[in-house]
Structure 1
Amino acid sequence: MFIPKISVVFYAIIFLTVASGCQQKNNAKNDIMMYGDTSRRGVPFSKDPHVVKFNGEYLMYFSIPPYEGNNDPMNGWAIGIARSTNLIDWEKAGEIVPVEEYERKGLCAPGALVIDGKVHLFYQTYGNWRNDAICHAVSEDGIHFERNKTNPIFHPTGDWNCGRAIDAEVVQFNNQYLLYFATRDSSMSIQMQGVASAPINTNFNRDEWMQLTDEAILAPKYPWEGKCVEGASVVQKGDSLYMFYAGAYNNGPQQVGVAKSRDGINWERLSNKPFLENGDPGEWNSCESGHPHIYKDEDDRTYLFYQGNDDFGKTWKISQKEVLWDDKGPHLNN
């Protein structure tokens, strides 16, 4: 459901401004993207970015928190939508808010896919702990969405996990769709990655998904990953898939790693160190650089979107860096 916002202030990297059309301004000299939606908390608060190109413009979907002091029982986490023509300056375009009973406590962590002129959105329910699951909705304009009647469409099974599924990422690969999700072990302590598949002609309904493993495909391994691997975002380069993932829980600090796969199921990390680290003290992302989204544009250039903050989660902003590629894999364009 779209709820228009008449007055929205956007956070810019060097000042706050209410510009005509509510468009966020950035540091033109360095072309630094810095986005934060202030509509709900009065401070920048945007998490979990995901970008698609649709109808000649870029759309970014992201998580926004509940309104403070609002006692509406449907006042939960929601999904914000912003539009851009250059991947740097973003203008608020709408929101997707809880409307169904299964999402009454909130919905967030969007992942989007454009198929045959429609935007398919995959998102998680929020606030239900073990029972949170993946949902699906579809839109003809990228703003107004119709829920899948079989929602929630996926949660994992097996003793290796707790039954929870969050942080959906859906990609087409080898004539099928792969759904990457984060779950936890039965003790709710360790966050890890799983994968399911649906046929190429799927409607993404609940009965069309098949879990592909009875164990995690990626779990915390190195000290910097702490007890958490989540927020997977996947891009295909050549015959391989590259997964950009978040290691450690929020503000741990959370940082970004990369793994590679030939089949979408078996993954090998490219390094024992983060690909994208949190910032130094005093920088905007000193507490984390997390929840990555790797976006491949129509010209095959790729951009790593990610969230960060410097106040242990009182605010959240989204930025991006271009990712370059060579025979060894991805590296940042610094």
Structure 2
Amino acid sequence: MMGVKKHSQERKWGGKAGIILALFLFNQVYADTEPMDIGEWFDRYLDNPLNIPQYGALGAVHPDMLFFPDGEDEYKYWMFYTPYPPETHENPSLVRSNDGMNFVDNGVRNPLIVRTEPWENRHLADPDVIKVGDKWYMYYMGRERGGTACISLAISDDGKNWIKYDSNPVIKPTQNWENNWVGAPALYHDGLKFWMWFCGGYAKGIELASSVDGEDWIRENNGDPVLTGTVWEWDAGGVSHPDVICHKDTLWMYYWGVSAANRYRLGLAKSVDKFNWIKCRYNPILDIVLDSWEGHYIYRSSPIIISDTMWLYYSAYDDMGTTRPRIGLAKSWDKRDIHVKEEGESGADPSAFTLSQNYPNPFNQATNIDFTLAKSGFVSLIIYDILGRKVRILVFEHVSSGYKSVLWDGKNDSGEDVASGVYCYQIGVENFRETKKLVLLK
């Protein structure tokens, strides 16, 4: 990740000369020295939205992800979320996976917690889970029918069976500008303290609190927001629903911003001290897709990093009047590591989508896989073992039309050499799918 450049957001350029100077400085400072980093752009999973249990609700929202490289209770990916709507179904639930794309509720009794107290008799939402040592902490928003929203805590020894903290709620609205609403917590533990970013007034600003034990909280920054919308920008209408991840000693906050025209999209801000945040110059980094399941607005997201690839789980609403939120997946990696090579087989674009047999085959070090695209589109090219388990994602991005070639070096997504044997590789683009076999001999 490149260094975070701090620049004044107060300075404005005026007149034609100012515009020319601003463009010149932008090109000199950014264009060559700061290529788009991992997490600053995303390509969506081909089979979105994910199939997440809804338990009688119309959809699913608020994903919160934990990743355990060596597995936890036999699963690597843990997703906490809430079925919704209606509000009567909105209770924190859990599904798990070993590939990050196919989730099950085996061994889990959902919902994990339900409404029992007066301050949460309307619904429970926005679960955010953190594991510190052998103890699990779930922070969630409880809202009463009168409208007041607070943040409460539940504790677990295994992530599946939860007991509510007996001194809930842990954070209540205390500022006039919060309008009796605090929620959407995002947790981080730095080895010494718990840190929580949360929303005040629904979208008026993102606040910060800290705790030594995860139970007693102190508001930081004098109770003022550490992140707000920016006038005349894409998030001028407000910011909300953060999630925070630490990447290369810098905190990255993904949040949704709403425009003055009520358009919800996903943004990114970075910080080295938890208090001062610099918004990404590529914001919004995930936009809606009109006439689709995510055509109305992008909602809460949750990133995890696996082998130098960021997996972003996010919820979104359609624009077809059904009000049925879904959860999707997008991925990001260092674009400088992409090796989709142009092949000069023809001066004209191909007329069809094709997948060629790899060569050499069998192989013992590396093999080439060629394919053609009749037109540009989002392409997935994935290696599977003979049991259908994902081994390596070779391509997961938008690719221009033409003749292409990708090299597979016989390694998995973790950079480890895979065993000799028969493997399959499958391409997917638009409605075209094809699978072929290859043989690795060592």
TM-score, with structure 2 as normaliser: 0.58
Match of 1:194 in 2: 207
Aligned partners of 1:148 and 1:52: how far apart in 2? 21
Matched, 1:77 2:90: yes
Match of 2:100 in 1: 87
Matched, 1:209 2:226: no
Deviations 1:224-279 (A, max 9, x none): 22422011011111221111110118x93311000011100111101263011111
Contact 1:33 1:88 in 2 (8 A): no
Q: Secondary structure of the residue that 2:119 maps to in structure 1?
A: helix
Aligned partners of 1:126 and 1:289: how far apart in 2? 22
Deviations 1:12-31 (A, max 9, x none): xxxxxxxxxxxxxxxxx946
Matched, 1:114 2:128: no
Residue 64 (structure 2) aligned to one of 32, 50, 72: 50
Aligned partners of 1:326 and 1:212: how far apart in 2? 37
Aligned partners of 2:90 and 2:63: how far apart in 1? 14
Match of 1:61 in 2: 80
Q: Post-superposition shift, 1:32?
A: 4.5
Range 127-136 or range 228-237, more displaced: 127-136
Contact 2:237 2:262 in 1 (8 A): no
Matched, 1:293 2:302: yes
Matched, 1:37 2:46: no
Match of 1:231 in 2: 241
Deviations 1:17-67 (A, max 9, x none): xxxxxxxxxxxx9464523434223x4x00111011343412211122366
Q: Secondary structure of the residue that 1:291 maps to in structure 2?
A: strand
- Does the C-alpha gap of structure 1 residues 248 and 313 become closer, same or farther in structure 2, counting only changes over 3 Å? farther
Match of 2:16 in 1: none
Q: Secondary structure of the residue that 2:178 maps to in structure 1?
A: coil
Q: Secondary structure of the residue that 1:224 maps to in structure 2?
A: coil
Contact 1:40 1:66 in 2 (8 A): no
Aligned partners of 2:321 and 2:271: how far apart in 1? 33
- Does the C-alpha gap of structure 1 residues 140 and 40 become closer, same or farther in structure 2, counting only changes over 3 Å? same
Match of 1:183 in 2: 200
Structure 1: stretches of 5+ with no match in the other structure: 1-28, 69-74, 328-332
- Equivalence map 1:116-135=2 (5 Å): 116-128=133-145, 131-135=148-152
Contact 1:217 1:266 in 2 (8 A): yes
Query: Which structure is larger by alpha-carbon Rg, 1 or 2?
Result: 2
Percent identity of paired positions between Structure 1 and Structure 2? 19
Matched, 1:102 2:119: yes
Match of 1:146 in 2: 163
Match of 2:317 in 1: 309
Q: Post-superposition shift, 1:320?
A: 1.2
Match of 1:11 in 2: none
Contact 1:40 1:67 in 2 (8 A): no
Matched, 1:167 2:184: yes
Q: Secondary structure of the residue that 1:102 maps to in structure 2?
A: helix
Contact 2:83 2:91 in 1 (8 A): yes
Aligned partners of 1:248 and 1:223: how far apart in 2? 10
Matched, 1:322 2:340: no
Range 270-279 or range 58-67, more displaced: 58-67
Aligned partners of 1:210 and 1:300: how far apart in 2? 34
Match of 2:291 in 1: 282
Aligned partners of 2:174 and 2:278: how far apart in 1? 24
Residue 261 (structure 1) aligned to one of 271, 274, 280: 271
Q: Post-superposition shift, 1:105?
A: 1.7
Aligned partners of 1:262 and 1:313: how far apart in 2? 41
Contact 2:61 2:84 in 1 (8 A): no
Aligned partners of 1:78 and 1:303: how far apart in 2? 24
- Does the C-alpha gap of structure 1 residues 36 and 288 become closer, same or farther in structure 2, counting only changes over 3 Å? farther
Aligned partners of 2:207 and 2:321: how far apart in 1? 28
Aligned partners of 1:313 and 1:132: how far apart in 2? 26
Structure 2: stretches of 5+ with no match in the other structure: 1-44, 337-395, 398-442
Aligned partners of 2:300 and 2:129: how far apart in 1? 15
- Does the C-alpha gap of structure 1 residues 175 and 288 become closer, same or farther in structure 2, counting only changes over 3 Å? same
Aligned partners of 2:46 and 2:278: how far apart in 1? 34
Q: Post-superposition shift, 1:302?
A: 2.4
Contact 1:254 1:290 in 2 (8 A): yes
Aligned partners of 1:66 and 1:288: how far apart in 2? 16
Match of 2:343 in 1: none
Q: Post-superposition shift, 1:117?
A: 2.8
Q: Post-superposition shift, 1:85?
A: 1.2
Q: Secondary structure of the residue that 1:304 maps to in structure 2?
A: strand
Contact 1:76 1:107 in 2 (8 A): no
Contact 1:301 1:323 in 2 (8 A): yes
Aligned partners of 1:34 and 1:76: how far apart in 2? 19
Range 270-279 or range 107-116, more displaced: 270-279
Range 156-165 or range 94-103, more displaced: 156-165
Matched, 1:136 2:150: no
Aligned partners of 2:117 and 2:174: how far apart in 1? 24
**Which residue identity lines up with residue 130 of structure 2 in the other structure?**
L
